[in-house]
């Protein structure tokens, strides 16, 4: 077996916003290798549309304190307030720095970074909407990702594109490096390092209807979980209110920020009933629930399972200049011009609030007591700091990636001097190689596609916006059955060259693991908070549940522990908008 060995001081998994931002920090202190299973700029960060939040105050008065409050309240008080404060205050220099790196932000008439309204962004602690979202038309993620990737190129970061990570090697509570396969020719590669930063993004593909890319499958989280490390708050998964009906393609919240409204089958602007003050700009969990209640109560369009996002009254010039991308999506995929016809929408699985637990400097936690894994860091959607708590506010995901990507990069770099180079043992490599070979040679009765489809359908039906004990219990049984079926899959492509069928199979195994974690955490949290809505426990229960879930892989299945939320300035209050 031929093995290619590499050494970098820091190895980063993922080349989206968090990975690239971390790399820019690390390259000043040592060698950096970044792995991506795609070409770097194809990372799903590029699909982020509406904006990145920072209280720059370019368009109207704003403050990082209000941003902090909005984020805490948006999180339904589950976000750790010390981390949220760091993010909202760091936001300003971080965005300015992005501009200096070349991000082509849209501009105000005076030439400053333009800002617009977004869901849950308010002035003066909830009094009225505020313009806080910095944007580049409705292609903000694309604009930021390209600038960061370009700066990485300028600074000499080494990229390994189309490399799939197979294992993150941790031994004696220290990260040793990673094992990956070069997708192009199937060759195995070992990357030893002093530090590993996981920035592998989300896992929306466990749901049937999602705004996420095919690549958003979450294998790195599962790899850590299977080695006994915890995953935090996995029951909290955000459904974005406005996905294109039938496709799940995202229509940015910026569309409502620019004046778009939601209407039901009776032509009512129904958000007035659910959030009288900020209406259509309420946080996503509330708007998604409102849409599904309207549909359930027969007020969908023509009684069907969707409602309309109406942009017909929005100035055509604004559509053209600030929302060109979503205008094009509507034309291409639905055959409609949003200036003339309302857009059929339905909530779509969008963002994982939960993930790999970290401290405020990106260090991966191995337990609820704050102990860490030496040399291991995580940032971005795969991580859980937690700044989003039970529900993320729009524009805080891009902000999270750059703020905590930067912080993770800084803290990884600061320990390089005294860190020992990792070593990946031969036995571990053989084990992984054998595993991959075994999957390649599988000749069972099931196909990857059928197991994946049934998984996505089960998760969508029983673990999406509304949840109940009975359904979650059934789901967990179904997941066991799916895991059995997975053992009996068949791979028809036996080749080593660009074997995407094999990669799909590997990803599916990890998706099954993650789904079980999500469902278990959801079953046990007996309250409704943020995106986790239990119909059998419809109220938030601060007395018993103001705490983070930590899920571990035990000998006999998943075990759960709980960790208190860090409350600093804001006491939990009823969440009204």
Task: Report, as residue numbers or ranges, the catalytic residues.
Answer: 284
Task: Say how far apart CA 306 and CA 293 lie, in whole Å.
Answer: 11
Give the CA distances from residue 141 to residues 17, 89, 175, 418, in Å, rounded to whole numbers and listed in that order.
8, 21, 30, 36
Choice between 184 and 417, CB closer to another protein: 184
Using the rule CB under 8 A, is 316 a contact of another protein? no
Q: Is residue 28 near another protein by the rule CB under 8 A? A: no
Six-digit token string for 194? 């002093």
Is 320 an interacting residue with respect to another protein (CB under 8 A)?
no
Read off the tokens for 322. 């600030």
Scan for tokens 């309420």, then name that residue: 282
Choosing from 1, 128, 315, 333, the residue that interacts with another protein (CB under 8 A) is 333
For residues 308 and 233, the answer to whether their CB atoms sit within 8 Å is: no
Helix (H), strand (E) at residue 561:
strand 557-564
Contact characters 268-307, another protein, x per CB under 8 A:
----------------------------------------
Q: Is 325 in the site for another protein (CB under 8 A)?
A: yes
Instruction: Round to whole Å and give the CA distance between 404 and 355.
Output: 14
Question: Of these, 473, 500, 559, 568, which contacts another protein (CB under 8 A)?
Answer: 500
Provide the H-helix boundaries in 390-468: 396-414, 426-441, 448-462
Q: Which stretch binds another protein (CB under 8 A): 267-275, 328-336, 478-486, 506-514?
A: 328-336
DSSP run (H or E) holding 20: helix 17-26
Quote the tokens at residue 540. 């938030």
Residue whose pair of structure tokens reads 């035990």 in the numeric block = 554
Sole binder of another protein in the list 73, 142, 194, 485 (CB under 8 A): 142
CB 334 within 8 A of CB 344: yes
Q: Which residues contact 90 (CB under 8 A, 6 or more apart)?
A: 403, 406, 407
Chain residues 412-451 in contact with another protein, contact rule CB under 8 A: 447-450
Nearer to another protein, 185 or 371 (CB): 185
Which neighbouring-strand residues pair with 32? 10
Footprint (CB under 8 A) of another protein, residues 352-411 = none
- Judge whether 385 and 409 are in contact, CB under 8 Å: no
Q: How far apart are CA 283 and CA 233, in angstroms?
A: 19
Q: Look-up: residue for tokens 């009288």?
A: 276
Interface residue with another protein among 71, 122, 151, 464 (CB under 8 A) is: 151
Tell whether residue 146 is a contact of another protein (CB under 8 A).
yes
| Angstrom distance (rounded) from CA 121 to CA 106 | 19
Site for another protein in 73-102 (CB under 8 A): 96, 99-102
Tell which one of 47, 84, 519, 522 touches another protein (CB under 8 A).
47
Query: Which of 150, 541 has the CB closer to another protein?
Result: 150
- Cα(477)–Cα(543) distance, rounded to whole angstroms? 30
- State the Cα–Cα distance between residues 487 and 512, nearest whole angstrom: 12
Give the list of residues 6+ apart from residue 315 with CB closer than 8 angstroms, or none. none
Q: Which stretch binds another protein (CB under 8 A): 109-117, 466-474, 478-486, 518-526?
A: 109-117
β-strand pairing of 3-13 with 188-198: parallel
112 binds another protein, rule: CB under 8 A:
yes
Residues 229-248 that bind another protein (CB under 8 A): 246-247
| 158 is a contact residue toward another protein (CB under 8 A) | no
> In the set 4, 28, 153, 443, which binds another protein (CB under 8 A)?
153
Q: What is the dihedral of CA 70, 73, 76, 82, to 10 degrees?
A: 80
- Residue 126 interacting with another protein (CB under 8 A): no
Q: Which of 493, 541, 542, 561 binds another protein (CB under 8 A)?
A: 493
Closer of 108 and 414 to another protein (Cβ) = 108
Query: Exactly one of 91, 143, 199, 519 binds another protein (CB under 8 A); which one?
Result: 143
The yes or no reply on residue 213 touching another protein (CB under 8 A) is yes
DSSP 3-state assignment of 245? coil
Q: Specify the 3-state DSSP secondary structure of 273.
A: helix
Judged by CB under 8 A, the stretch of 285-293, 426-434, 471-479, 495-503 that binds another protein is 495-503
8-state DSSP, 393: P
Residue 331 interacts with another protein (CB under 8 A): yes or no: no
Tell me how far, at minimum, the Cβ of 471 lies from another protein, in Å: 27
Residue 358, phi-psi category: left (phi > 0), alpha (psi -120 to 50), beta (remainder): beta
Residue 548 sits at φ, ψ, to 5 deg, of: -85, 145
Segment interacting with another protein (CB under 8 A) among 27-35, 296-304, 326-334, 474-482: 326-334
Q: Which stretch binds another protein (CB under 8 A): 69-77, 322-330, 343-351, 408-416?
A: 322-330
Q: How far is the CB of 206 from another protein (least distance, A)?
A: 16
Backbone torsions φ then ψ of 492, nearest 5 degrees: -85, -30
* Cβ closest to another protein, residue 243 vs residue 355: 243
In this chain, which of 11, 72, 78, 113 binds another protein, going by CB under 8 A?
A: 113
Neighbours of 173 (CB within 10 A): 12
Indicate the residue among 10 and 115 with the shorter CB distance to another protein: 115
Shorter beta-carbon distance to another protein: residue 47 or 408: 47
Size of the site for another protein (CB under 8 A): 61
Confirm or reject binding of residue 208 to another protein (CB under 8 A): no
Contact residues for another protein, defined by CB under 8 A:
38-39, 41-44, 46-47, 96, 99-102, 104-113, 136-137, 139, 142-143, 146-147, 150-151, 153-154, 184, 213-215, 246-247, 249, 325, 328-329, 332-333, 447-450, 491-501
């Amino acid at each position: 077996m031929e093995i290619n060995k590499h050494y970098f001081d820091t190895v980063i998994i993922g080349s989206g916003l968090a990975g690239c931002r971390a790399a820019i920090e690390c390259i000043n202190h040592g060698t950096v290798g970044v792995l991506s299973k795609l070409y770097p700029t194809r990372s799903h960060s590029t699909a982020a549309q509406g904006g990145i939040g920072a209280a720059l105050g370019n368009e109207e008065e704003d403050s990082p304190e209000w941003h902090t409050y909005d984020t805490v309240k948006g999180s339904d008080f589950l976000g750790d307030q010390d981390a949220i404060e760091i993010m909202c205050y760091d936001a300003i220099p971080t965005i300015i720095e992005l501009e200096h790196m070349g991000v082509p932000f849209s501009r105000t008439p005076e030439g400053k970074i333009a800002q617009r309204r977004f869901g849950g962004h308010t002035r003066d602690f909830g009094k009225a909407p505020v313009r806080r979202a910095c944007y580049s038309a409705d292609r903000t993620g694309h604009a930021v990702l390209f600038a960061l990737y370009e700066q990485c190129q300028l600074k000499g970061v080494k990229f390994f594109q189309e490399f799939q990570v197979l294992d993150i090697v941790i031994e004696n509570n220290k990260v040793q490096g990673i094992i990956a396969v070069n997708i192009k020719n199937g060759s195995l590669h070992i990357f030893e390092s002093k530090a590993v930063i996981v920035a592998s993004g989300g896992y929306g593909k466990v749901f049937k209807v999602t705004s996420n890319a095919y690549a958003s499958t979450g294998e790195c989280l599962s790899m850590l979980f299977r080695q006994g490390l915890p995953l935090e708050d996995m029951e909290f998964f955000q459904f974005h209110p406005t996905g294109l009906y039938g496709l799940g393609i995202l229509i940015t919240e910026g569309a409502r920020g620019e004046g778009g409204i939601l209407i039901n089958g009776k032509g009512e602007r129904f958000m007035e009933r659910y959030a009288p003050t900020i209406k259509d700009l309420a946080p996503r969990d509330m708007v998604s629930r409102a849409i599904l209640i309207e549909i359930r109560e027969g007020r969908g369009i023509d009684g069907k399972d969707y409602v309309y996002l109406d942009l017909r009254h929005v100035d055509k010039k604004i559509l053209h200049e600030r929302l060109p991308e979503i205008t094009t999506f509507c034309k291409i995929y639905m055959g409609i011009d949003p200036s003339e016809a309302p857009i059929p929408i339905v909530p779509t699985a969008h963002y994982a609030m939960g993930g790999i637990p970290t401290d405020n400097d990106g260090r991966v936690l191995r337990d609820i007591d704050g102990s860490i894994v030496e040399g291991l860091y995580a940032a971005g959607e795969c991580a859980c700091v937690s700044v989003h708590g039970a529900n993320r506010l729009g524009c805080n995901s891009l902000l999270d990636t750059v703020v905590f990507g930067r912080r993770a990069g800084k803290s990884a770099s600061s320990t390089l001097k005294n860190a020992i180079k990792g070593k990946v043992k031969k036995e571990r490599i053989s084990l992984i190689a054998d595993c991959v070979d075994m999957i390649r040679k599988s000749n069972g009765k099931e196909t990857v596609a059928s197991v994946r489809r049934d998984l996505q359908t089960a998760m969508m039906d029983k673990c999406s916006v509304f949840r109940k004990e009975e359904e979650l219990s059934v789901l967990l049984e179904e997941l066991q059955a799916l895991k059995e079926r997975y053992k009996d899959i068949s791979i028809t492509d036996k080749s080593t060259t660009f074997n995407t069928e094999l990669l799909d199979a590997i990803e599916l195994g990890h998706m099954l693991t993650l789904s079980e974690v999500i469902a278990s955490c959801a079953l046990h949290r007996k309250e409704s908070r943020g995106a986790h809505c239990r119909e059998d426990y419809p109220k938030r229960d601060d007395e018993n549940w103001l705490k983070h879930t930590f899920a571990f892989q035990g000998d006999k299945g998943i075990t759960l522990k709980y960790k208190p939320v860090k409350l600093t300035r804001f006491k939990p209050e009823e969440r009204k908008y």
